[in-house]
Homo-oligomer: A and B are copies of this chain.
Amino acid sequence: MSWKRERPETPRGYHHGNLKEELVRAALGLIREKGPNGFTFAEAARMAGVSPAAPYRHFRDRDELLADVAARGFQAFEAALSRAWDQGRPDPETAFHRLGRAYLAFAHDEPAYYAAMFEAGVPLDASAELRAAADSAFACLRQASEALIAQLPQGKRPPALMMALHIWAMSHGIAALFGRADGGRRPLPMSASDLLEAGTLIYLQGLGIGRNSPPKPD
């Protein structure tokens, strides 16, 4: 068994072999610990055990690495949301609340991704991938909104886009204000997840989709 480079750690030759991925991992760790601003190109290089100039072979500058992290974040986000929505099974309302919990769980469990996506000031058109990933994630929310709205009688259907924007805004607002791993900026009387679920219930009730006000199929 004469492998070439399987040792997981330090001793490596002149070429790293997988620097780009390792830089992304290092960036995630640094962002998680010190926020998207505390993250430093030089320190990521140090973590990967290469010289401070090496990262520039893989990313034009610091912002491009941040944009790459954000794009990967949106991809993971979209995957998590899609999995939670599960095509609306067993019924749209159950799936919708599961979607909301998945949103907050992502923000809570992947603070580095979430920060890169929403708090680092990365412009969405920094790359085509980033834009596409962000659009996919939003499309998931919009799709779920459409499924719920379809339960309403023809005349009383609000625009699905608007509903998706409302839900996104409420979710992001709760995540940003109260959903951080450190408990957020302000003590809450309930968990962020429960807060979002309650808000969603009230909002859906307002639309006439409440569990206690089914669209009488008369």
Tally of this chain's copies = 2
Let me know if B189 and A161 touch, CB within 8 A.
Answer: yes
Let me know if B202 and A210 touch, CB within 8 A.
Answer: no
Let me know if A176 and B176 touch, CB within 8 A.
Answer: yes
Let me know if A165 and B178 touch, CB within 8 A.
Answer: yes
Partner of A186, one of B138, B176, B205: B138
Partner of A176, one of B173, B202, B205: B173
Let me know if A166 and B124 touch, CB within 8 A.
Answer: no
Residues of B within 8 A of A176 (CB): 118, 172-173, 176
**For the complex, is A203 an interface residue (Cβ under 8 Å from B)?**
yes
Additional A-B contact list (7), CB under 8 Å, known A35-B121, A206-B206? A118-B176, A158-B202, A165-B174, A169-B169, A201-B206, A205-B207, A206-B207
8 A-B pairs with the lowest CB-CB distances in the bound complex, closest first: A173-B173, A206-B206, A169-B173, A205-B206, A202-B206, A172-B173, A166-B199, A169-B174
- What are 10 A-B pairs with beta-carbon distances under 8 A? A166-B195, A168-B173, A170-B170, A170-B173, A173-B173, A173-B174, A176-B176, A199-B203, A202-B206, A205-B206
